Amino acid sequence: MSITHFRNTPGIVLEDSNPVAVPLSEPVAVTSTTSVERSDGVETGVWECTPGRWRRQIVQQEFCHFVAGRCSFTPDGGEPIEIRAGDALMMPANTTGIWDIQETVRKTYVLIF
């Protein structure tokens, strides 16, 4: 296992950009990712998303730390969670729901398979 270190997370240049898979608003939100490391059933990286509403499709357990932006996440059957830069979030496996990005967000994340 190797150590993953992201220096200057807000300044990392993101490489891959794609529209979200299940958009719920116009304009369609676009996500960007870079510095992804996969090993031992874990994926780490830096992720960014432009404003918009969309359905979360990832079923892996996820820990993330938001370094920029403002958004909310409403888990299926639950209440909205307001998220701002500096917040951390742990999502259990199979957490689905709706992301509502009000201001472009950037986060570091760890997915656990």
* Half-sphere exposure for 86 (CA within 13 Å, toward CB): 1
Q: Is residue 4 part of a domain?
A: no
Number of domains in the chain: 1
Asked if 52 contacts 77 with a C-beta cutoff of 8 angstroms, the reply is no
Q: Which two structure tokens, joined as six digits, stand for 88?
A: 């951390």
Q: Is there a domain that residue 5 lies in?
A: no
Answer whether residue 9 is part of any domain. no
2 in any annotated domain: no
pLDDT by residue (tens digit) across 66-79?
999 999 999 999 99
Spatial distance between the Cα atoms of 44 and 13, rounded to a whole number of angstroms: 16
Long-range pairs of 26-29 with CB within 8 A, sequence gap ≥ 24? 26/52, 27/51, 27/52, 28/52, 28/54, 29/53, 29/54, 29/99, 29/101
pLDDT, tens digit (0-9, with 9 covering 90-100), for 23-42 = 999 999 999 998 677 778 89
Residue 64, in any domain of the structure: yes
Provide the CATH number for the domain around residue 70: 2.60.120.10
Residue 97 structural domain: 15-112
